[in-house]
Amino acid sequence: MPDLINDFIGLDTEYKLASGSTKRRIHLDGAASPLVMKTAIDARDALLPHYSNSHSFSHASAHVCSQAHTWAKQTILDTCGADEQYSLVSLGNGTTGVMNNIARRLTKRASEKPIVLVSAMEHHANDLPHREQTALVNAEVIHIPLVGESAQQGEIDLVALEALLKEHPGRVNYVSFSGVSNVTGIVNPVAEIVALAHQYDALAVLDAAQSAAHMSLNIAEYDVDFVAFSGHKVYCAGSPGILIAKSELLAHYPSDEVGGGVVERVDYDSVDYLNSYPQREQAGTKDILGIYSLAKVMAALQGYGLDKVQAHGVELWQYAAEQLASIQGLVVYGQTEQTRLGALSFNIEDVDHGLVAAVLSDYFGIAVRNECFCAHPYVSSMVKEALWDLDLDSVPEEQQAAMINRKRGMVRASFSLYNTRDDVDALCSALREIVANKESFEKEYDISELGE
Ligand code: PMP
C-alpha cells in the first residue's frame, strides 16, 4: 500500500446501504474524478490568506499570488518532463476546454493540411472538438482504426496510422490520441506515435487526462507538441485545464481567447497584442488556487516517485483482471498484451451494466461507473457482438433505441493511488453475490430507469 494513502480525503466516508447498515465507501471511479489529496487543500489554504488577483501588480498579496502562480506553472512543467522549449497555459473547463482550444488553434493550418487523425479509442473531448473545427473549414477528421477486424483488442493500429500518414503525404495537420484509455486502461506507446506523426510532418497532440496522475509524461523526451489534462483527474478539487505546448507553436498558432492581460495597447479601432509568449496566452484571471494546488500535488507525486505510482497502477490493474476472470460470465474488454492501468471495463453475461453499478453502490458501497464513459464509438466497437444478439423485433419501435443503448454499455471500475487489493477483493465478492442473486435484484430495480 503506498504511503501517500493517508493523504486522501474521504477514504473513511460512510454511506448507509440498502440493508440499513453503514459502510466505508470504496471509490473505484477515479477515472471520472479521483478523491482529493489533502496536499491540494493544504496548498489552497496556505495561499488563501494572501489571495488576490495576480494581475494587480501594485500590492504585496498580488506579488505573493503572482509568485505562487509562476512557481506553480514551472513546477507542473518540470514534473511533466517539459524542458525550456515548452510553456504552460491554463484554461477553464478541464481537458475539454483545452482540446477545444487546441483544435481552434491548429485549424489555422487546415488550408495546407486539411486532415486530422484522431484515434478510434478517444473520449468525446478528444474527438468532437476536432470534428467541429474541421467541419468549419472543409477539412476532415479520419479516425485511426483499432487493431483487428473485430476491434476486440482495443489497441490503436499503428500500421494503419502509418498507412494513413503515407496516403496523405504532408497533408495531415496533427495526430491526436490519449496516453491512457479511459475505457480499457490501455497505455498507448506515446513516443512511437509522436515519432510517426513527425516523420510525416504532422504535429502530435496528447490527451493526458488519464495519464497525468499515473505516470511520468516525459513530454520533452517524447517530443510531444501539445498536451492537455485536468486538475480534477490529478487529485485536486478544482479543475484547471492544463495545456503544455511548444512555445514556438503557441506563438505561431495563438489562442483566440483574448481579453485583459494580453495586450500592449487597445484603442477603439485597433489592438496591439503582446507578442511575448506565454504572456500573450494569459487572457483573463487564472485559477491560481487550482493551479497552485495542482503543482503541489504533482510535486508530491514526483517526490513519492512516479515510477512507484505507475507500478502501483499496473500491479492493481493486473490483480483486478486476474480476480475478475474467476467470476462466471464476466468479460474484461480489451484483449491486449499492452500495459494497462486505471480504467478496467467489463460486463457480466446477461446482467445489465446499469443493474451491476446500482447494486454495487446501494448494497456494497462500491462506486463504479457504467454505460459508455463519453467514448460511444469505442465502447460500441467492443460490445458490438452483444448488439448483434439483440432481438429488436421483440420490443416496440420506440423502445429500440433505448434497448441498443443499454446493451452498448459496460461497467467501469477504475483504480487510483489510494486503492488497494482489498478494494478489488471487495468488488469481486460483491460481483459474485450479484451473479448469485441476479433474479431478485432484477425484480427490485427497474432496469429501464438505471442511467449513467
Ligand atoms: N479525455 C479523457 C481520456 C478523459 O478520461 C476525460 C474525462 N473523463 C476527458 C478527456 C475530459 O476531461 P474533463 O472532464 O476534465 O474535461
Amino acid of residue 130: H
Measured distance CA(58)–CA(165) in Å, rounded: 52
Helix (H) or strand (E) holding 137: none
Asked if residue 25 belongs to a domain, the reply is: yes
Q: Which of 123, 128, 232, 378 to mutate to test the pocket of ligand 1 (most atoms within 8 A of CB)?
A: 123
Asked if residue 36 belongs to a domain, the reply is: no
In this predicted structure, the answer to whether residue 1 has a pLDDT above a threshold of 60 is no
Of 327, 344, 310, 322, give the one whose Cα is nearest residue 415: 344
Of 280, 303, 326, the domain-final residue: 303
If asked whether residues 253 and 353 sit together in one domain, one would say no
Q: Tell me the per-residue pLDDT of 69-95, one tens digit each, with 9 for 90 and over.
A: 999 999 999 999 999 999 999 998 899
Round the CA-based radius of gyration of the chain to a whole number and report it.
23
If asked whether residues 106 and 196 sit together in one domain, one would say yes
Q: What percent of the chain has pLDDT over 70?
A: 95
Asked if residue 411 belongs to a domain, the reply is: yes
Q: Could you identify the atom of ligand 1 that is nearest to the CA of residue 239?
A: 15
If asked whether residues 91 and 214 sit together in one domain, one would say yes
Of 275, 303, 331, the domain-final residue: 303
Q: What would the grid cell of residue 162 be?
A: 502509418
Over residues 381-386, mean pLDDT? 76
209-247 residues labelled b (16+ CB within 10 A) or e (exposed): bbbbbbbbbebbebbbbbbbbbbbbbbbbbbbbbbbbbb
If asked whether residues 191 and 265 sit together in one domain, one would say yes
Pocket of ligand 1 (CB under 6 A): 32, 94-96, 123, 125-126, 178, 182, 207, 209-210, 230, 232, 239, 374
Q: Could you identify the atom of ligand 1 that is nearest to the CA of residue 230?
A: 15
Residue 398, pLDDT score: 75
If asked whether residues 69 and 19 sit together in one domain, one would say no
Asked if residue 35 belongs to a domain, the reply is: no
If asked whether residues 195 and 292 sit together in one domain, one would say yes
Asked if residue 188 belongs to a domain, the reply is: yes
DSSP codes joined into one string, 240-263: -EEEEEEHHHHHHS--S--STTSE
Q: Could you identify the atom of ligand 1 that is nearest to the CA of residue 122?
A: 3
Residue 394, pLDDT score: 79
Q: What would the grid cell of residue 383 be?
A: 460490445
Nearest CA to ligand 1 atom 7: 32
If asked whether residues 388 and 432 sit together in one domain, one would say yes
Over residues 93-109, mean pLDDT? 97
Residue 298, pLDDT score: 98
CATH code (residue 412): 3.90.1150.10
In this predicted structure, the answer to whether residue 132 has a pLDDT above a threshold of 80 is yes
> What's the gap in Å between 58 CA and the centre of ligand 1?
38
Residue with cell 512507484: 308
Residue 373, pLDDT score: 95
Nearest CA to ligand 1 atom 5: 182
Q: Tell me the per-residue pLDDT of 400-420, one tens digit each, with 9 for 90 and over.
A: 777 676 678 999 999 999 999
Amino acid of residue 449: E
Q: Tell me the per-residue pLDDT of 200-221, one tens digit each, with 9 for 90 and over.
A: 999 999 999 999 999 999 999 9
If asked whether residues 191 and 283 sit together in one domain, one would say yes
- Ramachandran class of 374: left when φ > 0, alpha when ψ lies in -120 to 50, beta otherwise: left
In this predicted structure, the answer to whether residue 271 has a pLDDT above a threshold of 70 is yes
Over residues 180-184, mean pLDDT? 98
Nearest CA to ligand 1 atom 15: 94
CATH code (residue 47): 3.40.640.10
> What's the gap in Å between 56 CA and the centre of ligand 1?
33
Residue with cell 475539454: 96
Residue 149, pLDDT score: 79
If asked whether residues 223 and 86 sit together in one domain, one would say yes
If asked whether residues 80 and 7 sit together in one domain, one would say no
Q: Which of 90, 156, 176, 182 to mutate to test the pocket of ligand 1 (most atoms within 8 A of CB)?
A: 182
> What's the gap in Å between 374 CA and the centre of ligand 1?
8
Band of residue 3 on the pLDDT scale cut at 50, 70, 90:
low
Q: Is the ipTM of this complex over 0.95?
A: yes
Nearest CA to ligand 1 atom 8: 32
Residue 452, pLDDT score: 46
Are 87 and 244 a contacting pair, CB within 8 Å? Answer: yes
Q: Which of 119, 188, 374 to mutate to test the pocket of ligand 1 (most atoms within 8 A of CB)?
A: 374
> What's the gap in Å between 268 CA and the centre of ligand 1?
39
Total of domains in the chain: 2
Of 49, 104, 39, give the one whose Cα is nearest residue 72: 39
Poorest-confidence range of 176-180, 191-195, 251-255, 296-300? 251-255
If asked whether residues 135 and 153 sit together in one domain, one would say yes
Domain boundaries, position 121: 41-303
Cα angle 425-426-430, degrees, rounded to a multiple of 5 = 115
60-79 residues labelled b (16+ CB within 10 A) or e (exposed): eebebbbebbeebbebbbeb
Measured distance CA(264)–CA(127) in Å, rounded: 35
Beta bridge partners of 272: 265
Band of residue 312 on the pLDDT scale cut at 50, 70, 90:
very high
Of 262, 281, 303, the domain-final residue: 303
If asked whether residues 320 and 415 sit together in one domain, one would say yes
Burial classification of residue 288, based on how many CB atoms lie within 10 Å of its CB (0-12 exposed, 13-18 middle, 19 or more buried): buried
Residue 141, pLDDT score: 98
Helix (H) or strand (E) holding 144: strand 140-144
Q: What would the grid cell of residue 30 be?
A: 477515479
Q: What is the mean pLDDT of the chain?
A: 93
